[in-house]
C-alpha cells in the first residue's frame, strides 16, 4: 500500500497512518469496523481542502462503512436557510467527492442514530468529538479522536494505528468525579460537562452519584465534556458500559449545585439579544423533535427570530412520517438537515443564539454570535415571544 500498489489515495492514506503511528509509538495497525469523517463543511475546508478531496476521489474507495459529519448547509433546502449560491456550489462539490469515494453522505454528528452503530469493544476511527466520546463512553467502542484526514485514511485502508484509546491500558479512568448536583433539565448536562471538562482537564473521569441518564442527556454531556477539556472517554458508575470493571481513582473532585450554577454563568453571554434559536447540537433525536413539536404546536415563531431544528436527514424523515415536521414548519420553524450552527456560514447573519447545548454556545462564538443556553421550554419561549421567560 505504501509503495502505491493500490493507487494514489491508498498510498497517501498509508503515509498519514504510518506517520501517526510513528509519532504515537503504535506497534501495528488494527482493523476498524467503521469510520466517521469530519471536515465536510466548505466553510472550513476552503478550496485547498476541496482540491485535496478531489485528488483522493480519483481512485480512493472506502473499505468500511463510512459516514460524514455535518456539512455547511442543508443539502436540499439550503436556499430556505439563506445560504449563498456560490457557497452551495462549492459545498455540493465537496459532497460529490465524498460520494465518489463510496461514503454514505449522511452528514450528521450522531451517526449512531442512523445506523453507524458499533458494537461494544469494536475498534472504529471516528473524528467528530461528541461522536467519539459517545462511541467510547456510551457504546463502549474504541476510537481516538481522529482528524478528518486520518479518519479518511483509515476508511481507505480499513485500519488505523493501534495507540491511545485503542489500548485498554489507556482507557483506565484517572479522576473520580462525585456528582452531588441535581440535574433537572437537558442543559444541566451541558453545564455538568463544562464543570467536569474544566476540572478534569485531559483526564478520564470516573463519575459517581448519577443513577440514570437518557440518551439525549448523554449525547449532550458527551459534546460538552470533551469541548471543555476532558479526554473523549468517561465512565458513569452503573450507567455506562465498563464502569463496573473500574476502580474509583484516588484523585477525587466533587461537582455541586454551585459548580453547575457557575458553569451556566461562564457558558452564557450576559447581554445576548436573541435573534436565532437553534436546537440540535448534537443533532436532534426523534424524541427531541417530538418534544419541540409538542411545545410549539399552535404557536408562531417571532418574525424577528429564526428557529432551526438541526438533525440528520434520516431522523427528519421519521419526523415527516410522524407529522412533527408539519407542526414545526407551520409554526415558522425550519429544519436544518445535514448541517449545524457551528459549520454553516452564519458569520454576520445573527447577533445572538439561544440553544440547549453548551457545546453549541462555545462554537457559535466562532461564528461571531453571542450565546445563551436554556431548556427547550426557554428556547422555544424566546423564539416565540423574543423574551426569556
Ligand atoms: Fe454536532 Fe455541530 Fe454540535 S457537529 S455536536 S451540531 S457543533
pLDDT at residue 366, as a whole number: 80
Probe residue for ligand 1, chosen from 109, 267, 312, 362 as the CB with the greatest number of ligand atoms within 8 Å:
109
Probe residue for ligand 1, chosen from 39, 126, 130, 312 as the CB with the greatest number of ligand atoms within 8 Å:
130
Q: Which three cell numbers stand for residue 295?
A: 411545545
Query: Using a 6 Å cutoff on CB, does residue 130 contact ligand 1?
Result: yes
Taking the centre of ligand 1 as the mean of its atom positions, its distance from the CA of residue 281, in whole angstroms, is 5
Atom of ligand 1 at shortest range from CA of 363: 7
CB 78 within 8 A of CB 71: no
pLDDT at residue 255, as a whole number: 98
pTM for the whole structure? 0.97
Ligand 1: which residue has its CA nearest to atom 7? 342
pLDDT at residue 271, as a whole number: 72
Q: What is the pLDDT of residues 319-341, one digit of tens each?
A: 999 999 999 999 999 999 999 99
Ligand 1: which residue has its CA nearest to atom 2? 340
Query: Using a 6 Å cutoff on CB, does residue 223 contact ligand 1?
Result: yes
pLDDT at residue 63, as a whole number: 98
Ligand 1: which residue has its CA nearest to atom 3? 281
pLDDT at residue 273, as a whole number: 87
Probe residue for ligand 1, chosen from 353, 363, 365 as the CB with the greatest number of ligand atoms within 8 Å:
363
Atom of ligand 1 at shortest range from CA of 110: 1
Q: Report strand pairing: 276-279 vs 352-355.
A: parallel
Helix spans in the chain (H): 8-24, 42-57, 85-100, 129-134, 148-157, 186-199, 215-227, 257-267, 286-296, 313-322, 324-330, 358-364, 376-385
Of the candidates 32, 114, 136, 132, the residue with the CA atom closest to the CA atom of residue 67: 114
CA distances from 292 to 221, 278, 331, 354 (A): 20, 11, 11, 14
pLDDT at residue 245, as a whole number: 87
pLDDT at residue 58, as a whole number: 98
Atom of ligand 1 at shortest range from CA of 131: 5
pLDDT at residue 365, as a whole number: 87
Buried b (16+ CB within 10 A) or exposed e, 342-368: bbbbbeeebebbbbbbbbbbbbbeebe
Taking the centre of ligand 1 as the mean of its atom positions, its distance from the CA of residue 283, in whole angstroms, is 7
Ranges of the chain whose pLDDT falls below 50: none
Taking the centre of ligand 1 as the mean of its atom positions, its distance from the CA of residue 128, in whole angstroms, is 8
Ligand 1: which residue has its CA nearest to atom 6? 281
Atom of ligand 1 at shortest range from CA of 70: 4
Query: Using a 6 Å cutoff on CB, does residue 219 contact ligand 1?
Result: no
Query: Using a 6 Å cutoff on CB, does residue 344 contact ligand 1?
Result: no
* DSSP code string of 370-385: EEEE--HHHHHHHHHH
Ligand 1: which residue has its CA nearest to atom 5? 282
Q: What is the pLDDT of residues 33-81, one digit of tens each?
A: 999 999 999 999 999 999 999 999 999 999 999 999 999 999 999 999 9
Taking the centre of ligand 1 as the mean of its atom positions, its distance from the CA of residue 252, in whole angstroms, is 30
Amino acid at each position: 500500500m505504501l509503495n502505491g500498489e493500490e493507487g494514489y489515495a491508498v498510498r497517501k492514506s498509508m503515509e498519514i497512518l504510518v506517520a501517526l503511528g510513528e509519532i504515537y509509538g503504535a506497534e501495528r495497525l488494527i482493523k476498524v469496523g467503521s469510520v466517521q469523517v469530519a471536515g465536510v463543511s466548505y466553510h472550513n475546508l476552503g478550496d485547498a481542502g476541496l482540491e485535496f478531496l478531489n485528488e483522493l476521489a480519483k481512485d480512493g474507495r472506502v473499505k468500511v462503512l463510512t459516514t460524514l459529519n455535518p456539512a455547511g448547509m442543508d443539502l436540499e433546502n439550503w436556499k430556505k436557510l439563506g445560504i449563498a449560491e456560490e457557497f452551495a456550489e462549492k459545498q455540493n462539490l465537496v459532497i460529490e467527492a465524498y460520494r465518489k469515494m463510496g461514503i454514505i453522505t449522511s452528514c450528521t454528528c450522531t451517526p449512531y442514530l442512523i445506523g453507524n452503530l458499533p458494537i461494544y469493544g469494536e475498534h472504529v476511527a471516528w473524528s467528530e468529538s461528541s461522536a467519539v466520546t459517545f462511541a467510547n463512553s456510551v457504546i463502549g467502542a474504541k476510537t481516538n479522536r481522529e482528524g478528518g484526514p486520518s479518519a479518511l485514511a483509515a476508511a481507505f485502508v480499513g485500519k488505523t494505528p493501534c495507540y491511545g484509546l485503542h489500548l485498554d491500558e489507556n482507557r483506565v479512568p484517572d479522576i473520580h468525579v462525585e456528582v452531588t448536583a441535581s440535574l433537572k433539565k437537558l442543559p444541566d448536562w451541558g453545564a455538568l460537562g463544562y464543570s467536569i471538562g474544566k476540572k478534569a482537564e485531559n483526564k478520564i473521569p470516573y463519575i459517581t452519584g448519577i443513577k440514570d441518564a437518557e440518551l439525549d442527556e448523554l449525547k449532550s454531556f458527551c459534546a460538552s465534556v470533551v469541548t471543555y477539556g476532558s479526554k473523549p472517554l468517561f465512565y458513569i458508575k452503573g450507567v455506562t458500559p465498563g464502569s463496573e470493571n473500574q476502580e474509583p481513582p484516588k484523585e477525587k473532585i466533587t461537582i455541586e449545585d454551585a459548580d453547575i450554577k457557575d458553569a451556566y454563568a461562564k457558558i452564557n453571554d450576559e447581554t445576548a439579544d436573541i435573534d436565532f434559536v437553534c436546537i440540535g447540537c448534537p443533532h436532534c433525536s426523534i424524541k427531541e423533535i417530538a418534544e419541540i413539536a409538542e411545545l410549539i404546536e399552535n404557536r408562531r415563531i417571532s418574525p424577528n427570530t429564526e428557529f432551526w431544528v438541526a438533525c440528520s436527514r434520516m431522523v427528519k424523515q421519521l419526523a415527516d412520517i410522524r407529522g412533527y415536521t408539519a407542526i414545526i414548519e407551520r409554526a415558522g420553524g425550519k429544519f436544518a438537515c445535514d448541517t449545524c450552527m457551528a459549520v454553516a456560514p452564519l458569520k454576520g447573519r445573527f447577533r445572538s443564539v439561544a440553544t440547549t447545548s453548551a457545546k453549541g454556545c462555545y462554537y457559535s462564538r466562532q461564528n461571531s454570535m453571542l450565546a445563551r443556553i436554556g431548556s427547550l421550554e426557554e428556547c422555544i419561549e424566546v423564539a416565540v415571544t423574543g423574551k426569556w421567560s
